[in-house]
Structure 1
Amino acid sequence: MALARCCNAPSFLFTTKRNTPAGTKLRYEVDTSGILPITSEVFKMFPDDMPYSKSQYKKCAVIGNGGIIKNTKCGKEIDSADFVFRCNIPPINEKYSADVGTKTDLVTINPSIITERFQKLEKWRRPFYEVLQNYENSSVVLPAFYNTRNTDVSFRVKYMLDDFESPQGVYFFHPQYLLNVQRFWAVQGVRAKRVSSGLMLVTAALEMCEEVHLYGFWAFPMNPSGIFITHHYYDNVKPRPGFHAMPHEIFNFIHMHTRGIINVHTGPCT
């Protein structure tokens, strides 16, 4: 499969002791002049190997945060998947769980969320810790090596969860993996400053899972029935323009759906 050749999520999705030995120099994804020496202090934060490489999951659900998932009652179906991916710590409380479910095996966090909502964890850390408790034992994944600004704040998440003796694993995307994913999708017509977190997770799921089901992925103000929907299922805040190429991503998903590669859910679950 082309993805295994270009990206190899089972070996390179996260930065590990195996793929990034101590003493190496890690090149950032976009700050190409930026290089992070892997000191023993940094090295000990990495897992020995990819935590998911051994088993392939049968049915995976990747949950986008689009308003299209509202009022679908897909929560039970989502929670029945063997592995559930979520993006950017979205709310999964009682108000939303009937539509979006609660099971989470892996959740991404964009460091900008920590900077804007939690003061970079430089002050009180408990509010952020309590948000993460909603995801119980799920792994937390951050793009620590996207640029030099992301590194310290991403490392703080690891320090904080270790200080609170949390069982949650904290992992950092491998910058070369993300670069390869970006190149892979550019060839498919998704030319953006950056692919979205959702597309990164869908790409990983395609390698890790036999069946990939997408919920909450949509980039248009109306659903397929022509009814207006909010941008996210929990608010109507629009994204920064020109950063992601969401319509191109969705067109690719629909194309893959028609070819039977993935299952895109855009209506209610029965």
Structure 2
Amino acid sequence: MNPDFRSWVLATVTLLVVFLILADISELEEEIGSTGGSGTIRSAAGNVHSKSNRAELILNNSSTSSTAGRSNESIKYRTKPVPYIWRHNQTLALKIRKQILHFLDAERDISVLKGTLKPGDIIHYVFDRDSTMNISKNLYELLPRTSPLKNKHFKTCAIVGNSGILLNSGCGKEIDSHDFVIRCNLAPVEEYAKDVGTKTNLVTMNPSVVQRAFEDLVNDTWKDKFLQRLKSLNESILWIPAFMAKGGEERVEWVNDLIIKHHINVHTAYPSLRLLHAVRGYWLTNKVHIKRPTTGILMYTLATRFCNRIYLYGFWPFPRDLHQNPVKYHYYDSLKYGYTSQAGPHAMPLEFKALKNLHLQGALKLNVGECEAAT
């Protein structure tokens, strides 16, 4: 091959590669730029692999004219999918568990227990220290005597968030295959079963859900809807953060009253007063400063005590996926992403970045695309 021609080919191909790389970076910046802090979010969103991730450009420099003994003097470029095979890093998972248990007692901190409080006790809210609440008779009655997860251990656990990234994922069957399934904020499951599954062993319920999803039980229709959702839990653990922030005490009382009055078959749990501080303490030692941890980070931190392998689904804090497709904030409602503005209490992109890094190291598996069994 003519040396001048070969040099021209090399220069052209090099420029093409640079162009494609810059185009890819520009695309991702545009995709997530509207969420604020694009540099941090770009780092968070990158490198999380799923079944539907894009192909990578592979440079296969198989031969040059100066290399002896090679019959082919061409440089071949080809685009092909690069499979990413996630492997569980058991050594790292055990190390993280040991570190976390320096900060919290997962069995005790998952709920305040009977005997630690009594009816009439006055306590300060975790985030509103100047405000107090009284321990009611109903709340005390529903406090567990022992941790609902005492002496429990599971091979695999699924923690299911509520992001619209779950829609059309086909992850329902995979989620239900896990030994223990944790869900967030009493999210509906039956009508989305193909994508989110139905199995529920523990579900969180922020008091604000009563207002946002069940219209504060203003009439019998909404009260019946709420009761049906509670009844569908059927022996699951209902995890209610009753002591976190002022404003939800009345709703907590409504829920407690309904559980007792209608003999709802659930195991109630109320996270301890020190849980949030313990969780923040652990993550701070890993240089992740989280003011108010979301349910995802809380549940992952707790689950390290009970689960060998932890799989996360439905955690994606960006309005578009890696292919520029719009993603709903919740898979089941029309809540907008403004809810997670910088004025809000949570730093979801920061938490996502922390979870992504653990995924890449094999400590947990973070699914942000279709599941393998999806058809």
Same structural fold, with TM-score higher than 0.5 when normalized by the shorter chain: yes
Tell me which residue corresponds to 2:341: 241
Task: Give the match's secondary structure for 1:149.
Answer: coil
Match of 1:69 among 166, 170, 189: 166
Tell me which residue corresponds to 1:98: 194
2:190 alignment partner AA: N
* Structure 1: runs of 5+ lacking an equivalent: none
Tell me which residue corresponds to 1:145: 243
- Alpha-carbon deviation of 1:187? 4.3
Identical-residue share of aligned pairs (%): 31
CA–CA distance in structure 2, aligned partners of residues 233 and 40 of structure 1:
36
2:105 alignment partner AA: N
Tell me which residue corresponds to 1:259: 361
Aligned residues: 268
Q: Are the structure 2 counterparts of residues 179 and 150 from structure 1 closer, same or farther at C-alpha, using a change threshold of 3 Å?
A: farther
55-64 or 231-240, which moves further after superposition?
A: 231-240
257-266 or 146-155, which moves further after superposition?
A: 146-155
- Alpha-carbon deviation of 1:34? 3.5
Tell me which residue corresponds to 1:114: 210
**Structure possessing the higher radius of gyration over alpha carbons:** 2
Matches within 5 A, 1:110-259: 110-118=206-214, 120-121=216-217, 124=220, 125-237=223-335, 238=337, 239-242=339-342, 243-259=345-361
CA–CA distance in structure 1, aligned partners of residues 227 and 258 of structure 2:
8
Tell me which residue corresponds to 1:81: 178
2:107 alignment partner AA: P
CA–CA distance in structure 1, aligned partners of residues 215 and 348 of structure 2:
28
CA–CA distance in structure 2, aligned partners of residues 223 and 12 of structure 1:
35
- Alpha-carbon deviation of 1:251? 0.5
Does structure 2 conserve the Cα–Cα contact (< 8 Å) formed by 1:191 and 1:245? no
Task: Give the match's secondary structure for 1:17.
Answer: coil
Does structure 1 conserve the Cα–Cα contact (< 8 Å) formed by 2:139 and 2:256? no
200-209 or 247-256, which moves further after superposition?
A: 200-209
TM-score, normalization: structure 1?
A: 0.89
121-130 or 35-44, which moves further after superposition?
A: 35-44
Task: Give the match's secondary structure for 1:232.
Answer: coil
Q: Which digits, 9 at most, give the CA deviation of each residue in 1:204-238, with x for residues without a partner?
A: 11222111000111112232344332222224422
- Aligned-CA RMSD value: 2.3
Tell me which residue corresponds to 1:46: 143
CA–CA distance in structure 1, aligned partners of residues 340 and 370 of structure 2:
29
Task: Give the match's secondary structure for 1:175.
Answer: coil
- Alpha-carbon deviation of 1:135? 2.9
Task: Give the match's secondary structure for 1:90.
Answer: coil
Tell me which residue corresponds to 1:2: 99
* Structure 2: runs of 5+ lacking an equivalent: 1-97
Does structure 1 conserve the Cα–Cα contact (< 8 Å) formed by 2:184 and 2:204? yes
- Alpha-carbon deviation of 1:65? 0.8
1:132 alignment partner AA: L
CA–CA distance in structure 2, aligned partners of residues 264 and 75 of structure 1:
15
**Would you tell me which structure has more helix in proportion to its own residues?**
2
Tell me which residue corresponds to 1:12: 109
Does structure 1 conserve the Cα–Cα contact (< 8 Å) formed by 2:241 and 2:270? yes
